[in-house]
Amino acid sequence: MTAPAATATESPAPAEPAAGKRRSLLNPWRHPWFLEGFTWLYLIWSLAPIVVAVLFSFNNGKSQSAWQGFSWRWYFSDPVNSVLHDPQLHAAVIQTVRLSVLTTIIAVPLGVAFALGINRWRGAIPATFNFVMILSYVIPELIFGVSMFIAFTTLFSSVHLGTVAEVLGLVTWNVSWPAIVVQARLVTIGRQYEEAAADLGANQFQVARRVLLPLLAPAIFASAVLVFSGVIDDFVIVDLLSSSAGNTPMSVIIYSTQHGGNGGPALNALGSIMLAMSLIIVILGYIGYRLLSRGEGNTGLAALTAISGEN
Amino acid sequence: MKLRKNAFWIALALPGVLWLAVLFIVPIYAVLAIGMGKLDQLIEAPVAVWNPLDWSSSGVINVWRDIFGGAAFAGPIIIRTLVYTVIASLLCLLIGYPAAYFVARFAGRRKALFLVLLIAPFWISYMMRMLAWIDLLSTGGYVNKALGWVGISPVNWLGGSAVTVVLGLVYGYIPYLIMVLYAGLDRIDHAQLEAGRDLGLGRFRTFVYVTLPLSRQPILTGLLITVLPMLGDYYTNQMLSGAASTSMIGNLIQGQLGTPGLEGQGAVLSLMLLLVLLIPMVYYVIATNREASQ
């Protein structure tokens, strides 16, 4: 029992002395079963409720706790209450996809160019704006949302609350992802490649286009995954900036329908669709990141942490 | 020459710089202009005052009175917010640290599996995660069913229970704390732990004298990453309780923002919150920068 446990620990286990063969509590290299049990309990607490919620989105009945058979009723079969046929739920799915695509298309190039420029442009202005960008990354979302709401209702009131305001708000909120991820990557790349290219006669544009961009590709891709999935899950900004059923995304629909207590299984179906969307993005992101960064000796773990913003 | 050398990079950075100026700096200033502005009594709409010289302090005085005055209604809400946030953050740490510690130190070859499971909540919408608990905690839900098996009568979890709200906050924000702790604990040099062992410390004392001091920084940044959003959270307790008896400062701000005539006070309140959080925010930036440069 102790032997496989000892190999499972990361620390190099020394050859155990004969006396250590007994399962001694004093053995400092024994596997921490209590900690492992605790971790599993945490994981079950963390994930089992989601599994139950997804399961009951397939329930052939309104109950959330009594299984009445499998059905697609809440997804598309029910002519009134399914996600497909309820106009509000249907519109919410489309709005989430629309916001994610638009925000990613705008925020990623904006953030990447910003990161490149700020990183090379020396002076007080770029330093200040880099700080402003980081501030936009750490500011609590409610305060940011309040500033957006006030801006779009008083100052820029020609931009009414709705899709345009939502996209402008989401881009501002998410532009820090590519800006931070790309800057971190620039630091690891170092300057030798572009100096070599410059020595060989490349101008700045060619350096950026032919040397930096290919080297940055994994980072840019990872930040696109982060922005896209971030927008799917975003709540505060879209809650404050949406104005009608036509421009309300899924997260806000779940919130506003449920907190009145009117949520039915169709909401579980909506949440499960969100989950499936995020899952597809993560899987595509993982595969794409590994393809783009192959040859760098990256592990799957590195790809995983990169697309979840932990680096 | 210098300008020409810079011109290309300036041109690259400029769109982002302008974007942040117009859509981040100006809106924050707009909050200031509304908070320090006047109220149009006729149409009950706030009027922004852009010139700092014309700012009126009436909005600030009103909010101050709401918080500290005799019939203050905001004061108790702020105290409640602090109590909830402190309890929830400490619970996050208490639950999160052992899990992060286990995965960072002992998961061995199964590290990838554990990591995927730890990260999974990041990819699941916050609202979906709250919805899942609403299903479980409802009157006929599994939690009450389980209580019924051991003979406890159903509890009205979702009718304004502070316990539910605090546990909801813990459930909502703990994955962020765990990832910060994991990253920090994973970076600890094994040689230092082995040195402790070689010098005769047992597993427990190695933890107390080596691991714990080395994880002070991750604990601090991890707590910040849960505290900052909790202080601006209005949706968790709205979803899980909805009662005024559990409302937090986020609910106050969000409610005032949606009430004609009170937007100015909502603006002042969010500025006060920003002011209080500015120091921890800057600390967070400096701490993570230092980590990244190590």
- Residue-wise pLDDT for B23-77, tens only, equals 999 999 999 998 888 777 777 777 888 878 778 877 788 788 878 777 778 888 9
Instruction: Find tokens 């209580």 and name the residue.
Output: B147
Residue B120 belongs to a domain = yes
Model confidence pLDDT, tens digit, residues B181-225: 999 998 888 888 888 878 878 778 888 888 888 889 899 999 998
Inside any domain, residue B92: yes
Inside any domain, residue B41? no
Structural domain contains residue B237: yes
CB pairs under 8 A between A and B: 297
pLDDT recorded at residue B265: 86
CB within 8 Å of chain B, chain A residues 112-171: 113-114, 116-122, 125-126, 129, 131-136, 138-143, 146-151, 153-155, 168-169, 171
Question: Both tokens of residue B288?
Answer: 């993570």
pLDDT of residue A246: 85
CB contact under 8 A, A28 and B197: yes
Query: d(Cα B293, Cα B193) in Å, to the nearest integer?
Result: 23
pLDDT in tens, A6-28: 444 444 444 444 444 445 555 65
Distance CA A143, CA A146 (A): 5
In contact, A229 and B102? CB cutoff 8 Å:
no
- Which tokens go with A141? 């979302």
Q: What is the pLDDT of residues B242-284, one digit of tens each?
A: 888 999 999 999 998 888 878 888 899 999 999 999 888 888 8
Residue B38 lies inside a defined structural domain of this protein: no
pLDDT at residue B109 greater than cutoff 90: no
Nearest chain B Cα distance for residue A253, angstroms: 9
**Separation CA A151–CA B46 (nearest Å):** 12
In chain A, residues with a C-beta closer than 8 Å to the C-beta of B234 are 142
Bridge partners, B39 (sequence order) = B46
**B203 vs B53: CA distance, rounded Å:** 63
Per-residue confidence band for B294, with pLDDT thresholds at 50, 70 and 90 = low
Average pLDDT, chain A: 85
Does pLDDT of A54 surpass 60?
yes
A5 touches B: beta carbon within 8 Å: no
Q: For residue range A181-228, what is the model confidence (pLDDT) as tens digits?
A: 999 899 888 888 888 888 888 888 888 888 889 899 999 999 999 999
Asked whether the predicted pLDDT for residue A167 surpasses 90, the reply is: yes
Q: Is residue B68 part of a domain?
A: no
Q: What is the pLDDT of residues A243-277, one digit of tens each?
A: 988 899 999 999 988 865 556 788 999 999 999 99
Chain B within 8 Å of A63 (Cβ-Cβ)? yes
Q: Which residue in the set B12, B107, B235 is minimally distant from A117, CB to CB?
A: B12
- Per residue in B40-52, pLDDT (tens digit) is 777 777 788 887 8
CATH of segment(s) A87-307? 1.10.3720.10
Q: Is residue B65 part of a domain?
A: no
CATH number at residue B100: 1.10.3720.10
Instruction: Kindly determine whether residue A8 and residue B110, on different chains, have CB atoms separated by under 8 Å.
Output: yes
Please state the domain extents for chain A.
32-71, 87-307
Angle, to 10 degrees, between the axis of helix B263-293 and the axis of helix B26-35? 140
Q: Which residues of A touch B136 (CB under 8 A)?
A: 49, 52
Kindly report the average pLDDT of chain B as a whole number: 87
The tally of domains found in chain B comes to: 1
Indicate the SS3 state at residue B248.
coil
Burial of B87 (0-12, 13-18, 19+ CB in 10 A): middle
Rounded mean pLDDT, B98-110: 91
B38 strand-pairing partners: B47
Q: Which value does ipTM take for this structure?
A: 0.90
Structural domain containing residue B229: 73-257
